[in-house]
Amino acid sequence: MQKRELGKSGLEVSALGLGCMSMSSGYGPAADNGEMIKLIRNAYDRGVTHFDTAEAYGPFANEELVGEALQPIRNNVVIGTKFGFEIDLETGKRGAGTDSRPEHIKLVAEASLRRLRTHHIDLFYQHRVDPAVPIEDVAGAVKELIAQGKVKHFGLSEAGVQTVRRAHAVQPITAVQSEYSLFWRGPEDELLPALEELGIGFVPFSPLGAGFLTGKIDENTKFDPTDFRNLVPRFSPKARKANMVLVDLVKAVAERKGATPAQVALAWLLAQKPWIAPIPGTTKLHRLEENLGAVNVELGENDLKQIDEASSDLKLEGARLPEAALKMTGR
């Protein structure tokens, strides 16, 4: 497995990481804990050193799972987790909004350290920007945690460029995490140029378009009632049917390369910048193996040009998130 440095931070991670959210929430019922522990350790055995979780996944269940799985190899891996939603730290009950008050951030850090069975958090992200708390105060709280050795690196998730700049001035940011794939290329407009200028790494989540770019989903696919994609406009049957033209494009490149559509989608992301480190998620070993095979797929200049030219002409249908969730991004 190739390694990549996140920006100019000195933090090195595997080129492909593992997003662990789907093991506990988001895409239907939680998977079997024992099987997921095996999967996480299998990922490590195959060279993955970057694992992503959050207190909100469950809540709490995913951090506990990741902590148990990685405890024997803790010193060899990078764990990213997140704070910033309104969650009761005793009961796990979710509120409706965000909570990045400095005193709350510090309590979340202590709780995450316990669940992750570790003495430090490698990468501590604000999950969503809190409009009620100045980002300078958030960055200052994480700076204190870094000074105490409880956190190593600071990150932001789904933040806008001005927020990134303001936070970075208080405590240097190691990575920004946002959705990015051939299915959603919004970060290219402002965010990626700013990150390059500031020397900040980028960690794309949903690098396979929440599964759409695998070619295994069409307009007739039925999702579990608890799967978040039921609420996403871009995953309505009508939008899926219209957006299959993008999948067809990826499939055509994959066929020529002797690869799968998922591998081409991930290889495309890896080819964009050397400081981009995607975190595809899965609950299946064969999908993990398939995803990791993307590091061996070489997309040349002509391949990338063809994909860019063909995809830039496509007008994909449907918003990438429900309206309420979109209002929490890009602040």
CATH 3.90.1410.10, applies to 3-326: no
pLDDT at 46: 98
Read off the pLDDT of each residue in 135-153 and give the average, rounded to a whole number.
98
DSSP E strands: which ranges in the chain?
3-5, 12-14, 18-19, 50-52, 78-83, 85-87, 94-98, 121-126, 151-157, 173-179, 201-205
Q: Any residues with CB less than 8 A from the CB of 230 and at least 6 apart, and which?
A: 223
Strands 94-98 and 85-87: antiparallel
Asked if pLDDT for residue 312 goes beyond 90, the answer is no
Q: 306 is written with which tokens?
A: 């063809």
Give percent of the chain above pLDDT 90. Answer: 99
Angle between helices 33-45 and 61-70 (to 10 degrees): 50
Report pLDDT digits (tens) over 252-311: 999 999 999 999 999 999 999 999 999 999 999 999 999 999 999 999 999 999 999 999
Q: 248 is written with which tokens?
A: 């067809």
What is the CA 23 to chain-centroid distance, rounded? 14
Closest CA to 117 of 177, 58, 74: 74
Instruction: Tell me the whole-structure pTM to 2 decimals.
Output: 0.98
> Do 258 and 303 touch, CB atoms closer than 8 A?
no
> Do 249 and 215 touch, CB atoms closer than 8 A?
no
pLDDT at 159: 98
Rounded Cα–Cα distance for residues 23 and 29 (Å): 9
pLDDT at 144: 98
The dihedral through the CA atoms of 297, 306, 186, 283 has a sign that is negative
pLDDT at 327: 96
Domain boundaries, the chain: 3-326
Which residues are paired to 79 by β-bridges? Answer: 51
Asked if pLDDT for residue 51 goes beyond 90, the answer is yes
Report pLDDT digits (tens) over 54-92: 999 999 999 999 999 999 999 999 999 999 999 999 999
Which positions are annotated as active-site residues?
57
Angle between helices 237-257 and 301-312 (to 10 degrees): 160
Closest CA to 6 of 273, 265, 271: 273
Q: Residues for the chain: how many in total?
A: 331
User: Cβ of 235: how many Cβ atoms within 10 Å?
Assistant: 23
